[in-house]
Amino acid sequence: MKFKISDTLILFITLILFISMMVVLNGTQFFKMQNIQSMAYQLPELGILSLAMMIAMLTGGINLSIIASTNLSSIVIALVLSRMLGADMSTSGSLGSIILAIAAGICVSGVIGLLNGFLIAYIEVSPILATLGTMTLLKGISIVLTKGYVISGFPPMILSIGNGAIFGFPVPMLIFLVFAGLMALVLIKTPLGTHIHMLGSNATACHFSGVDTKKVLMKTYLLSGLYTGIAACIMMSRFNSAKADYGESYLLMTVLASVLGGVSASGGFGKVSGLVIALVILQVVSNGLNLLRVNNFLTIAIWGGILIIVMIANYYFGRQNNNGKSFR
Amino acid sequence: MAEKFLSLKNVNKNFGGVQALKSVDFEINKGEIHSLVGENGSGKSTLIKIISGVVRADNGAVIEIEGETYKDFSAIDSIRKGIEVIYQDLSLFPNLTVAENIALGEMIATNTKIVDWKRVHQIASEATKKINSSLALNELVANISLADQQLVAICRALTHDVKLVIMDEPTTALTRNEVDDLFVVVKDLQSKGISTMFVSHKLDEVCEIADKISVIRDGVKVGTFSNEELDDDKLTMLMTGMEIDRENYSGDFRSKETLLSVRDLKKTDNFKDISFELHAGEILGITGLLGSGRTELAQALFGLNPADSGDIFLDGKRVRISNVREAISMGIAYVPEDRLIQGLVMDQAVGKNVVITILHHILNGFGLIDRTKLKERIDTSIKSLSIRIPSVDSPVNTLSGGNQQRVVLAKWIATNPKILILDGPTVGVDVAAKAAIHDIVRGLAEKGVGIILISDEISEVFRNSNRIMIMHKGRIINEIDTSETTEEIFRELMGLQCKGKQ
Amino acid sequence: MKKIFSKYETYVLIAIVMLGFLINSVNANFFTLENILDLLKSYSFIGILSIGVLFVLISGGIDISFTATATISMYVMAVILNTYGGNIVSAFLIAIVIGICLGLVNAVIIYFFNIQSIIATIATLNIYYGLLTVFSGGKWIYTLPTWFREFAQVRLITLSNQAGGTYGLSIITVMWMLIAVISWLILRYTMVGRGIYAMGGNKVSAKRVGFNLLKSHLFVYGYMGCLAGIAGVVLSLLVQCVAPNSIVGKELDVLAAVVLGGASLTGGVGNIVGTILGVILIAIMNNGMTLMRIPAFWYDVFIGCIIIVSVSASALQQKKKAFRKIAIEDD
């Protein structure tokens, strides 16, 4: 008799365990408003990037270009702003100009998504190689655009995207929740969502059932790209600068968060709710360890350890589909 | 009296409470071609695994090979005794050369550490000589035909001092010609005193090649018979334990109106000069050997493999079918030959599989999937085809072959097709479930659906069609009405025409 | 002749030659022995790593953690040498042992828990790198023994240029080539090597034929670790300092070189010659840009384009192959 536990439940229990652990270790400090606030400001960047990674992984692919795409988008936003506003960028900035700049950045991220989608869907390059190529190319373009320098000092309105609050609720958290909700809506309630899951398990059968698999892949990577555009807005605002190689350590973290959140590395399975819980776990652990003044890098090591433990747990619960077809 | 090679007595095998084999006795003589037949899940593969030592029989079994008795028979014992299994998937390495594929097993068995490529070639060419074949030893296995790959697998078995070759469904992917060539090889092995255990579900082939036939059902051996005692129908009866309704299709719901008309359809390297008509309510059988172009033709009509030239008329109107979505929108549905890869998304839920073809019909005003409609559609489909599942959320791969095939049918019936193309609809399905699927198909014809039934099983096509077209090397070479002839005559005709033309 | 043109490596070689002529037409310094020998020396680090990655890719896996392995190996080596002293042999031995151990950890996780290699090695990369940075405090090591410094200057052949400076075939390049030859022999002439190809081609069959998949896993990831260890020492010889953060993050660059060299991510395909050519192609591009005075920040753009074009070309090639033919009887 095999007892089947829902994956989300396992994750939730893990989360409770970690929170209690952090409370025991840190005492009441952990629950202080200030601490919870700071977590709420930190989570969204990685969160939105993880959503961008997750949707690609659901189709059995991967998107290695998300960080490069984020950086290029924020550089484009920054360049458009500085072109329009000139030297006093950090003090001026009308709503119109900012909307225009952000629109430009998100357009760029969309085009990048379409490029990835085209390579993967129509040329049939394996996702890992296609996005490895675009990652390098995009980073190159970013370096060329900035000559390797930092662009910094943004208008206050941009800064409020990542640092502001509405009725005491952090703006970036709000943005994250909206986009996580949107992603969940797409995955659960639209034909595209069902197609993405089905395609991740077996693309041929989808093709034979009349699913336009190429279009589904295009849309998947387009969405993935657009989410990096959103991430770009938050990241540039939080750093108050844009540069070609920011946040590179996030790349592997997004894979980690997705897998931890129950997204199958071979595609087909995964829920936004699982990913969100996984992100909270990661945030709680890193924040708790931070309060304990544990070295940041030890935290990285611990995350790696958690990933392995989760995979081993999955292995023993026997619900992992290891048929060797990862990353076509 | 022939000399005994292998004898099994009182073999039981219990897998976690399920009795896979119940006191089975089994014998093979030297140089004998012995066929093992049985339904899916009858215990065939467990028996193979016990003979190859991969699985151990439960206590009490006596295994005797060439007079030597084993209590605990292991894989190494099996190999030492010259027993070789050729698996259905052939277990070859596509990225290695033919020579290396043949020689690898021998080199591992002799505990080779350093590869001497001369020796590799020597082993390989000796093995190919044994079956008088001229395989291109330096070619990659990925680049040779399936039939040649089969020979590579046989050659690999012959590198050892082999006494018994077990072939598990060796003819599944072969054309009739290639099957003939394979039989020559098997006979040749026989003349060298090598026994062959031939496991197959194609009963006509079994009757053709085997000296003896053992039938196994629900883990029990029904009996061992000599070739002369059996024919197709008798075998089926023994395998299933029931008299299946083998009556020919007597229904005729053909209407006057032509549903589909095809004129001079051609596709380079696939088929040419294809012209035929399909009426509403008609079941049109297409048969022909593997590689005759039948699947390619079906896929052309379904937009998977659009034709280069020629015309297709639907309800009298000329249409172009350039992709699957167009085909579906015109009311065409296609049940593909490979259920596991093309037909279903095995890891995913039954419900999702059933509605994948009609998702855009169950949206609400916001373009989102309507839960109620979704549930309704799934429930209707599952009920109308009486698919037995624990829950709509169970993955398809937990179902039996018959139920899986019903899921495929369900998802196409959900689209309300005018034309349903079935390509090998009962492959890997038990005889009982087979009859049920045929009933579903007949029921659809009665409702006026035009059906194209493709199969290489002659009796299936003959007993379920109004009309049959025979395809050979990319063309339609004959067309007959089943009411005007008998299955025997048709079978002969088919054999003559497909062989005579080589 | 046809056989030569059906090989992927031929095209990489053609690309290299054409690129070489292009660069040389702009700057005649390219085709000088001095430049080429220098280039080979400075790319031996990537070259050695790429051979390890090749083994993993052939076996059907992927390894992301090798940069961390290399870093740990060289860091621990440097610390031990500075504390207890030693010689060049012990330097390599220390690094190799550490590298192999870390590689075996990967193999064990991947084999026993059936975890996809990319996930497992992403995890170990984080663990290895995180722990190293914690224990090293992120401090760079600038002081290395004099003999260590001297070894890096050893040349097997020494030549001098017109300006009077000397150059030659560095022992480091020779080590790279030696490793390449040994690896080629392993892949071509040992059952272990053939087992790696077999495993990458069809894992289930490899098991049925009688290969011990555990041993193959241990060998592949152990060898990757071993080469990462050697590469770590080579890097510290080249730059004469040890930095905990200098190479982590570069793992995909090495992967790109191996893929450019014709290895497939699906396993079973790839060879040493192609891999070396892949590394040389990247080296020449980088060097050529300097020689042609193209600003360095264009580098990634070019590499990115090359990767995209080459993987697209081979994907299109694959697409053409997948067509099933039927012999139509003619009248």
Q: Neighbours of A (≥3 Cβ pairs closer than 8 A)?
A: B, C
Task: Flag if C315 and A125 touch (Cβ within 8 Å).
Answer: yes
Interacting residues of A92 by C-beta distance below 8 A, sequence separation 6+: A85, A155
Q: Which among B55, B66, B63, B44 is positioned nearest to B161, based on CA atoms? A: B66
A195 contacts chain B (CB < 8 A): yes
Which CATH number is B246-331+417-502 given?
Answer: 3.40.50.300
* CA of C147 vs chain A CAs: smallest distance (Å): 33
Which CATH number is B4-240 given?
Answer: 3.40.50.300
Residue C303 lies in a domain: no
Residue A325 lies in a domain: no
Task: Tell me the chain C residues in contact with residue B296 when contact means C-beta distances shorter than 8 Å.
Answer: 324, 326
What pLDDT, on the 0 to 100 scale, is given for residue B131? 81
What pLDDT, on the 0 to 100 scale, is given for residue A237? 95
In this structure, the strands spanning B164-168 and B195-199 are: parallel
C220 contacts C61 by C-beta, under 8 angstroms: yes
Is the per-residue pLDDT at C24 higher than 70?
A: yes
Is the per-residue pLDDT at C331 higher than 60?
A: no
C155 contacts C169 by C-beta, under 8 angstroms: yes
In the three-class reduction of DSSP (H, G, I as helix; E, B as strand; rest coil), residue B428 is classed as coil
Residue C282 lies in a domain: no
What pLDDT, on the 0 to 100 scale, is given for residue C328? 63
CA B210 to chain CA centroid, Å, is: 19
C318 contacts chain A (CB < 8 A): yes
Interface test with C, best of A141, A207, A255, A311 (most C CBs within 10 A): A311
Neighbours of B192 (CB within 10 A): 11
Nearest to B347 among A194, A201, A204 (CB): A201
Nearest to C205 among B93, B271, B292 (CB): B93
Interface test with A, best of C57, C71, C115 (most A CBs within 10 A): C115
Residue C55 lies in a domain: yes
Overall number of domains in chain C: 1
Which residue carries 């997204």 as its tokens? Answer: A263
Instruction: Summarize pLDDT for C270-297 with one digit per residue, the tens.
Output: 999 999 999 999 999 888 888 888 888 8
Q: Which among A256, A81, A248, A217 is positioned nearest to A152, based on CA atoms? A: A81
41-70 in chain A: CB under 8 A from chain C: 64
C216 contacts C59 by C-beta, under 8 angstroms: yes
Give domain limits for chain B.
Answer: 4-240, 246-331+417-502, 340-416
B95 contacts chain C (CB < 8 A): yes
Task: Flag if A189 and B369 touch (Cβ within 8 Å).
Answer: yes
Residue C222 lies in a domain: yes
C58 contacts C267 by C-beta, under 8 angstroms: yes
Q: CA torsion angle for C179, C181, C182, C185 (degrees, to 10)?
A: 150
Three-state secondary structure readout of chain A: CCCCCCHHHHHHHHHHHHHHHHHHHHHHHHHCHHHHHHHHHHHHHHHHHHHHHHHHHHCCCCCCCHHHHHHHHHHHHHHHHHHHHHHHCCCCCCHHHHHHHHHHHHHHHHHHHHHHHHHHHCCCCCHHHHHHHHHHHHHHHHHHHHCCCCEECCCHHHHHHHHCEECCEEHHHHHHHHHHHHHHHHHHHCHHHHHHHHHHHCHHHHHHCCCCHHHHHHHHHHHHHHHHHHHHHHHHHHHCEECCCCCCCHHHHHHHHHHHCCCCCCCCCCCHHHHHHHHHHHHHHHHHHHHCCCCHHHHHHHHHHHHHHHHHHHHHHCCCCCCCCCCC
Alpha-carbon gap, residue C191 to B296, rounded angstroms: 42
* CA of A320 vs chain B CAs: smallest distance (Å): 11
Q: Neighbours of B (≥3 Cβ pairs closer than 8 A)?
A: A, C
Nearest to C210 among B105, B271, B472 (CB): B105
Residue A150 lies in a domain: yes
Task: Flag if A198 and B352 touch (Cβ within 8 Å).
Answer: yes
What pLDDT, on the 0 to 100 scale, is given for residue A266? 85
Q: Which among A156, A157, A162 is positioned nearest to A175, based on CA atoms? A: A162
Residue A189 lies in a domain: yes
Q: Which among A317, A324, A308 is positioned nearest to A9, based on CA atoms? A: A317
Task: Flag if A304 and C255 touch (Cβ within 8 Å).
Answer: no
Task: Flag if B334 and A208 touch (Cβ within 8 Å).
Answer: yes
Which residue on chain B is closest to C325 by alpha carbon? B269
CA B12 to chain CA centroid, Å, is: 28
Alpha-carbon gap, residue C33 to C199, rounded angstroms: 41
Residue C66 lies in a domain: yes
Q: What is the pLDDT along chain A (328 residues), one digit of tens a residue?
A: 334 456 777 788 888 888 888 888 888 777 788 888 888 999 999 999 999 999 999 999 999 999 999 999 999 999 999 988 877 777 777 888 999 999 999 999 999 999 999 999 999 999 988 999 999 999 999 999 999 899 998 998 899 999 999 988 999 999 999 999 999 999 999 999 999 999 999 999 999 999 999 999 999 999 999 999 999 999 999 999 999 989 888 888 899 899 889 898 889 999 999 999 999 998 988 888 888 888 888 888 888 898 898 888 878 875 444 333 333 2
B93 contacts chain C (CB < 8 A): yes
Tell me the residue length of chain A: 328
Overall number of domains in chain A: 1
Asked if domains B4-240 and B246-331+417-502 share a fold, the reply is: yes
Instruction: Summarize pLDDT for A143-202 with one digit per residue, the tens.
Output: 999 998 999 989 988 999 999 999 889 999 999 999 999 999 999 999 999 999 999 999
Phi (first) and psi of residue B469, to 5 degrees:
-110, 135
B501 contacts chain C (CB < 8 A): yes
Interface test with B, best of C2, C58, C204, C209 (most B CBs within 10 A): C209
The mean pLDDT of chain C is 90
A128 contacts chain C (CB < 8 A): yes
Instruction: Summarize pLDDT for B392-402 with one digit per residue, the tens.
Output: 899 998 888 88
Is the per-residue pLDDT at C299 higher than 90?
A: no
Alpha-carbon gap, residue A71 to A229, rounded angstroms: 9
The DSSP call for residue B268 is T
The DSSP call for residue B142 is G
CATH of the domain at A79: 1.10.3470.10
C208 contacts B104 by C-beta, under 8 angstroms: no
What pLDDT, on the 0 to 100 scale, is given for residue B433? 83
Interface test with B, best of A209, A214, A215 (most B CBs within 10 A): A209
Task: Flag if A248 and C249 touch (Cβ within 8 Å).
Answer: yes
Residue C152 lies in a domain: yes
Task: Flag if C326 and B271 touch (Cβ within 8 Å).
Answer: yes
The DSSP call for residue C328 is P
Neighbours of C3 (CB within 10 A): 8
Domain carrying residue A149: 7-317
Q: Would the CA dihedral through B488, B490, B493, B497 be positive or negative?
A: negative
Domain carrying residue C220: 36-250
Ranges under pLDDT 50 in chain B: 500-502
Task: Flag if B345 and A205 touch (Cβ within 8 Å).
Answer: yes
